[in-house]
Amino acid sequence: MTPEDLSSVLFDIVTARLAERGSDVTITMGDVLLERPRNRDHGDWTSNIAMKLAKRVGSNPRAFAEELRPAIESIEGIRAVDVAGPGFINITFDTAAAGEVVRSILNQGDAYGHTKVLEGLRVNMEFVSANPTGPLHLGHTRWAALGDAIARVLTASGAKVTTEYYINDAGNQMDNFGASILAAAKGEPTPENGYPGAYIQSLAAHVLEKAPDLLSLPHDDAVAVARDLGYLQQLEEIKTSLENFNVHFDVYFSERSLHAPDPQTGRSLIDDAAVRLAEQGHVYEKDDAVWVRTTDFGDDKDRVLTRGNGITTYFAADAAYYLNKKDRGFTEKIYLLGADHHGYVGRLKALAAAAGDDPDVNITVLIGQLVNLNGAKLSKRAGNIVELDDLLNWVGADALRYSLARYPADSPLSLDGEKLRERTNDNPVFYVQYAHSRTRSVAKNAEAAGVDRSAFEPGLLTHETETELLGSLQELPRIVAQSAELREPHRVARYLEEVAGHYHRWYASCRVLPLGDEPVTDLHRTRLWLNDATGQVIRNGLALLGVSAPDRM
């Protein structure tokens, strides 16, 4: 029996008991999710459903738990049910039932751990969104790893997710970028507010190749050509860096498209956003400017859409972009922003409310803290940053992704680059990947020794380390669902380390292969099932973090 099976049966038992009581209280599957007790002496799983419902059905929690107890005890595969503390229901499987999770894991394969708890949720996940005026750096690396991992656990939990990169390709920074490339092409110093670095020289060479007449053009025209050609090249390099980091975006959304007039109406998305917010009753004019009354929704000040000179603001683009996402049918819009964007939380939440959405449901703003990688050297091309490409060459995508996804987004992070390169158990990604490669090695050696999966007797898995390992393998669906609901993929990483630890201890205590002339028994065959199921769980978990599961280390 799997935890999902038990939750389903428990749902039916509680629903039936409520009906017997004549209660009009209704529950969902989310109400009967099970937890692993911290103390294994308290059973395999625990439920707080009696504590959730007792007051609503006019009972005390322990008494209501006792009402449910007989039906739970009658479930096939349940060895014991105890009511503990204020009303916890602690459930213990018999050995065979606990071992059945192995069969379920291998039958489901890559799908094990996936659930439908977020089915029906449509999410736009926007992250990284670095200006296309230079290469990606260490800070972007953290947002890339976290954002992609969040998208993966959401998808595994039934949500339909679109990953999106917002290209900041409008505004003064783009003109400064173009001027910097043109200056490099002319052999001139970097202009004031321009972009230095050898990468600008490389972009200048690319632009000259694409536009040989660049230097003969009028200055403003030359800046525009250098800007647009350099931008396209830099964006392609950004995309390549992200793909090398195993981060794929479904949509690259150009800020310029928000400013572009519609061929038929002559109005831009920014123009339309002002009209739509006005229709909601939240726009007013003051000092020749057009404002949105975001203070009505908790913002610290009202925001300007259009200045007195007719120039639209960044907030106007934010508003148009949010409404565009809403128009595309996304239930929730998730923004993963850098540590210097704390001020955006209030204004984006207020914007969602002004657009008629529920800011507690339809928008989530996550702020990622800074990351430092000890020993990382500044880029030779960019000069003043640590480039993603250099980090990939030095540490590798797997070590970077795992380590960056291993911590909550809101925690400052300092990593030791040399330790991430170590092939020791002190390196968490190596520790987990080595456990997977060990499962593959055991399976290969088992085949050579004549041990196959022709028999499966889960009641034979009685060793203490087998009980621990089985218990941890059952957890993956719950961990994934929890990680998705809380937007915290680090829970998957910490879970994998727990599984790896249980597996390494089991490997040291229980043999899959017969010793010497010892005959192959059903215990060996059943342990091979457990070995292979462990490999599947680790493989599935690593995939959720965008990390590979090597067969050999």
Amino acid in the structure at residue 337: L
| pLDDT of the residue at 131 | 92
| pLDDT of the residue at 378 | 65
Whether 149 and 187 share a structural domain: no
- Residues whose CB is less than 8 angstroms from the CB of residue 298 and which lie 6 or more positions away in sequence, other chains included: 346, 349, 350, 353
Instruction: List Cα–Cα distances, 534 to 262, 432, 436, 499, in angstroms.
Output: 55, 11, 8, 8
Mean predicted confidence (pLDDT) in 18-43 = 84
- What's the rounded Cα separation, in Å, for the pair 203 and 226? 9
Closest CA to 533 of 452, 460, 469, 463: 469
| pLDDT of the residue at 379 | 64
- Is 108 a domain residue? no
Give the torsion through C-alpha atoms of 33, 36, 39, 42, to 10 deg.
Answer: 50
**Number of C-beta neighbours around residue 548 at 10 A:** 18
Whether 46 and 194 share a structural domain: no
- Is 543 a domain residue? no
- Asked if pLDDT for residue 4 goes beyond 80, the answer is no
- Is 527 a domain residue? no
Whether 234 and 270 share a structural domain: no
Mean predicted confidence (pLDDT) in 318-340 = 94
Residues 124, 130, 132, CA angle at the centre, nearest 5°? 120
Domain boundary among 349, 367, 385: 367
Mean predicted confidence (pLDDT) in 418-440 = 94
Two tokens at 219?
């200055």
Closest CA to 244 of 379, 430, 420, 398: 398
| pLDDT of the residue at 127 | 96
pLDDT tens digits for 237-290? 999 999 999 999 999 999 999 999 999 999 999 999 999 999 999 999 999 999
- Asked if pLDDT for residue 38 goes beyond 80, the answer is no
Range of the domain at 197: 172-240
- What's the rounded Cα separation, in Å, for the pair 35 and 479? 10
- Is 98 a domain residue? no
| pLDDT of the residue at 382 | 67
If you average pLDDT over each of 81-95, 146-160, 374-388, which comes out highest? Answer: 146-160
Domain boundary among 320, 347, 367: 367
Which residues are registered as beta bridge partners of 364? Answer: 334
Whether 221 and 141 share a structural domain: no
3-state secondary structure of 367: strand
DSSP-derived letter for residue 35 is B
- Is 461 a domain residue? no
Whether 135 and 270 share a structural domain: yes
pLDDT tens digits for 178-228? 999 999 999 999 999 999 989 999 999 999 999 999 999 999 999 999 999
Mean predicted confidence (pLDDT) in 149-167 = 98
Please report, for the domain that includes residue 57, its CATH number: 3.30.1360.70
| pLDDT of the residue at 1 | 67
Amino acid in the structure at residue 334: I
> 81 near 74, Cβ under 8 Å?
no
> 141 near 400, Cβ under 8 Å?
yes
- Is 518 a domain residue? no
Whether 250 and 218 share a structural domain: no
- Is 411 a domain residue? no
| pLDDT of the residue at 529 | 98
Domain count along the chain: 3
pLDDT tens digits for 376-422? 776 666 667 889 999 999 999 999 999 999 999 888 888 888 888 99
Confidence of residue 540 (pLDDT cuts 50, 70, 90): very high
Phi, psi of 374 (to 5 degrees): -60, 135
Domain boundary among 344, 367, 390: 367
Whether 345 and 278 share a structural domain: yes
> 128 near 140, Cβ under 8 Å?
yes
- Asked if pLDDT for residue 369 goes beyond 90, the answer is no
- Asked if pLDDT for residue 36 goes beyond 90, the answer is no
Whether 197 and 271 share a structural domain: no
Segment among 76-80, 130-134, 149-153, 426-430 with least mean pLDDT = 76-80
- Asked if pLDDT for residue 62 goes beyond 90, the answer is yes
- What's the rounded Cα separation, in Å, for the pair 165 and 310? 28
- What's the rounded Cα separation, in Å, for the pair 179 and 226? 7
User: Which percentage of the chain shows pLDDT scores above 70?
Assistant: 99
Instruction: List Cα–Cα distances, 496 to 54, 428, 436, 472, 493, in angstroms.
Output: 36, 9, 10, 9, 5
Mean predicted confidence (pLDDT) in 225-236 = 97
Whether 155 and 272 share a structural domain: yes
- What's the rounded Cα separation, in Å, for the pair 321 and 251? 13
Please report, for the domain that includes residue 137, its CATH number: 3.40.50.620
Whether 260 and 350 share a structural domain: yes
Two tokens at 255?
């800020």
Q: Which residue has the higher pLDDT, 3 or 480?
A: 480
pLDDT tens digits for 438-487? 999 999 999 999 999 999 999 999 999 999 999 899 999 999 999 999 99
- Residues whose CB is less than 8 angstroms from the CB of residue 262 and which lie 6 or more positions away in sequence, other chains included: 268
- Is 162 a domain residue? yes
Closest CA to 466 of 522, 413, 423, 529: 529
User: Which percentage of the chain shows pLDDT scores above 90?
Assistant: 80
Q: DSSP secondary structure string, 299-334? A: -SS-EEEE-TTSPBPHHHHHHHHHHHHHHTT-SEEE
Average pLDDT, the chain: 93
| pLDDT of the residue at 84 | 92
Strand pairing of 289-292 and 332-337? unpaired
Whether 132 and 259 share a structural domain: yes
What pTM, to 2 d.p., does this model score? 0.89
pLDDT tens digits for 504-522? 999 999 999 999 899 999 9
Whether 84 and 138 share a structural domain: no
- Asked if pLDDT for residue 166 goes beyond 70, the answer is yes
